[in-house]
């Protein structure tokens, strides 16, 4: 992660001030916090966060990617013979359509280290998370949400994983990939809201490949924002007194 000044080297969650099921959205400009309180929610594509120049805080170069990189390399059976060979130096990647999935990132906890990491000067505190999610879903007519058929929802707690461990079902489920990050980001204690205007969240709508080394970075034109107007959040959120000690 590269945050040794804020958190211990073993990547354990920092001591946080948790208050039930509340959510926190940090801002480096107070006017952006006020805009959210008025109901303007700024979603960005996963591609935007993947290519964000401020890596390891707001950005994550592996955003929208699930990685399986066991020690020594993954084992494969090329000819379905039951005999496996190790691909030394390779890793398996499963990628979603990062330019077609919109995300809004919040945290389930808050502490001074997090405030400093995000250069935050203001915060919106969501007091009623279920009502907040329903309010966002209500303005997303025609959009696709994640979750099992009949149980779709917009909000997911981010899961943190070790790339040396097998991914299980996550490699084929877009919203699981879009709401998973490596253990080094666990300090962010993130809650993420997702939707798509395409079929990017459809089961198995992923691309899988074997990768060795780091591919050359390509400029991505799918980095964009979309603002949802959900109405004033004054009844379910507040602007708390904000200090960094």
* Long-range contacts, stretch 48-54, CB < 8 angstroms, 24+ apart: 48/223, 48/224, 48/225, 49/103, 49/105, 50/98, 50/220, 51/217, 51/220, 51/223
CA distance 183 to 188: 10
User: Is 167's pLDDT higher than 90?
Assistant: no
Mean pLDDT calculated for residue range 192-202: 96
- Of all residues in the chain, what percent carry a pLDDT higher than 70? 84
User: Is 165's pLDDT higher than 60?
Assistant: yes
Mean pLDDT calculated for residue range 194-212: 93
Q: What's the Rg (C-alpha) of the chain?
A: 19
Q: What is the pLDDT of residue 14?
A: 33
Q: What is the pLDDT of residue 215?
A: 62
Write out pLDDT tens, residues 99-156: 999 999 999 999 999 999 999 999 999 999 999 999 999 999 889 999 988 899 999 9
Residue 186's CB: how many other CB atoms inside 10 A?
19
Tokens, residue 55: 């890596």
Give me the residues paired with residue 238 across strands: 125
Cα separation values, 31 from 36, 101, 124, 145, 224, Å: 9, 26, 11, 29, 20
Select from 61, 53, 41, 68 the least CA-distant residue to 192.
41
Residue 9 binned pLDDT confidence (cut-offs 50, 70, 90): very low
Write out pLDDT tens, residues 18-70: 444 899 999 999 999 999 999 999 999 999 888 765 545 566 788 899 999 88
Q: Checking DSSP bridges between strand 159-161 and strand 180-182, what pairing results, if any?
A: parallel
Cα separation values, 99 from 60, 136, 171, 219, 229, Å: 14, 20, 18, 12, 21
Q: What is the pLDDT of residue 104?
A: 97
What are the residue boundaries of the structural domains of the chain, listed by start? 23-238
Collect all residues with Cβ–Cβ distance below 8 Å to 85 and sequence separation of at least 6: 75, 76, 77, 78
**Rounded to the nearest 5°, which phi and psi values hold at 115?**
-60, -45
Q: Checking DSSP bridges between strand 101-107 and strand 159-161, what pairing results, if any?
A: unpaired
**Largest Cα span, the chain:** 64
Per the prediction, the chain carries an average pLDDT of: 84
Mean pLDDT calculated for residue range 71-96: 80
Q: Which pTM value belongs to this model?
A: 0.83
């Amino acid at each position: 992660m590269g945050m040794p000044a804020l958190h211990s080297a073993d990547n354990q969650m920092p001591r946080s001030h948790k208050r039930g099921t509340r959510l926190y959205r940090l801002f480096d400009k107070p006017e952006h916090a006020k805009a959210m309180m008025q109901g303007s929610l700024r979603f960005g594509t996963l591609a935007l966060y993947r290519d964000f120049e401020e890596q390891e805080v707001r950005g994550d170069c592996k955003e929208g990617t699930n990685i399986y990189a066991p020690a020594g390399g993954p084992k494969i059976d090329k000819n379905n013979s039951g005999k496996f060979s190790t691909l030394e130096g390779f890793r398996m990647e499963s990628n979603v359509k990062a330019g077609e999935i919109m995300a809004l990132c919040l945290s389930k906890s808050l502490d001074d280290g997090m405030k400093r990491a995000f250069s935050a000067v203001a915060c919106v505190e969501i007091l009623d998370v279920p009502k907040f999610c329903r309010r966002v879903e209500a303005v997303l007519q025609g959009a696709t949400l994640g979750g099992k058929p009949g149980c779709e929802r917009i909000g997911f707690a981010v899961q943190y994983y070790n790339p040396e461990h097998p991914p299980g079902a996550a490699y084929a489920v877009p919203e699981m990939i879009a709401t998973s990050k490596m253990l080094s980001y666990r300090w962010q204690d993130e809650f993420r809201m997702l939707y798509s205007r395409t079929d990017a969240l459809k089961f198995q709508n992923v691309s899988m490949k074997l990768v060795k080394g780091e591919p050359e970075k390509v400029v991505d034109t799918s980095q964009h924002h979309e603002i949802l107007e959900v109405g004033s959040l004054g009844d379910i959120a507040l602007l708390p007194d904000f200090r960094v000690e």
